[in-house]
Amino acid sequence: MNAKTAIPTLALLLTFLPAAALEAQRVLWSAPRGASAIPEDPTEAPFSVELADDFEAWGDVTNVELDGAACTGCSAPAAKSVAVRFWSWTAADGPGDLVAEYFLQAGDDHLKIDAAAPSSIAVRLATPFAARGRYFVSLQIEFAGIGAWSWWTAADAPRLSPAWVRARDGAWGPAERTNDLAFALSTTPWDDVDFALGCGQLEVETPMAPGLEASWRATDVAALDRDRAWAIGVAKAEAGPRPLFFERRRGIWRTVDLPVGDDVELRAIEVVSAKEVWVVGSFLFQPGPAAEVRQPLALRYLPDASRWEVLATPLLLEGEALFTDLVGRADGEVWIVGSSTQTVDGAARRVARLWSHDGTTFKDLTIEDAIGGGDEELTAIAGVGTETWMVGGGTDPAARSQAVVLRWNGASAERVAVPGIESFARIHSVAAAEGEVWIGGRSRTEDPVLLHLDGRVWTESSSRVGGDALAARPKRGFVTAGPALASTAGTEWKPEPDGGLRANAIAAPATCALFVAGRFETSLGDRGAFYRLAPRGFGDGFESSGFEAWSEAVGASGAR
User: Sign of dihedral through CA atoms 30, 31, 37, 41?
Assistant: negative
pLDDT of 548 above 50: no
All residues at 6 or more sequence positions from 467 whose CB lies less than 8 Å from its CB, including other chains: 428, 429, 440, 441, 442, 448, 449, 450, 480, 482
Which pLDDT score is estimated for 60? 82
pLDDT band at 109 (very low <50, low <70, confident <90, very high): low
User: Domain ranges in the chain?
Assistant: 10-193+544-559, 200-535
pLDDT of 484 above 70: yes
What is the residue type of 418?
Answer: V
Q: CATH number of 200-535: 2.130.10.10, 3.40.50.300, 3.10.310.30, 3.20.20.300? A: 2.130.10.10
Model confidence pLDDT, tens digit, residues 147-164: 667 778 887 778 888 999
Under a CB-based contact definition with an 8 Å cutoff, are residues 195 and 497 in contact? yes
The larger pLDDT score, comparing residue 196 to residue 365, is at: 365
The larger pLDDT score, comparing residue 400 to residue 259, is at: 259
What does the chain come to in residues?
560
The larger pLDDT score, comparing residue 86 to residue 252, is at: 86
Which pLDDT score is estimated for 545? 28
Model confidence pLDDT, tens digit, residues 59-76: 788 888 887 765 544 555
The larger pLDDT score, comparing residue 199 to residue 258, is at: 258
All residues at 6 or more sequence positions from 345 whose CB lies less than 8 Å from its CB, including other chains: none
Mean pLDDT of 79-98: 90
Which pLDDT score is estimated for 553? 30
Q: Could you tell me what percent of the chain has a pLDDT over 90? A: 31
pTM (2 d.p.) = 0.66
Model confidence pLDDT, tens digit, residues 345-367: 777 888 999 999 999 999 999 88
Which pLDDT score is estimated for 234? 92
pLDDT of 481 above 60: yes
Mean pLDDT of 401-417: 88
Weakest mean pLDDT among 185-194, 503-512, 516-525: 185-194
Question: SS in 3 state form for 455-480?
Answer: CCCEEECCCCCCCCEEEECCCCCEEE
Which pLDDT score is estimated for 76? 54
Count CB neighbours of 108 within 10 A. Answer: 14
Which pLDDT score is estimated for 74? 52
pLDDT of 427 above 70: yes
Q: Highest mean pLDDT range out of 33-37, 418-422, 476-480?
A: 476-480
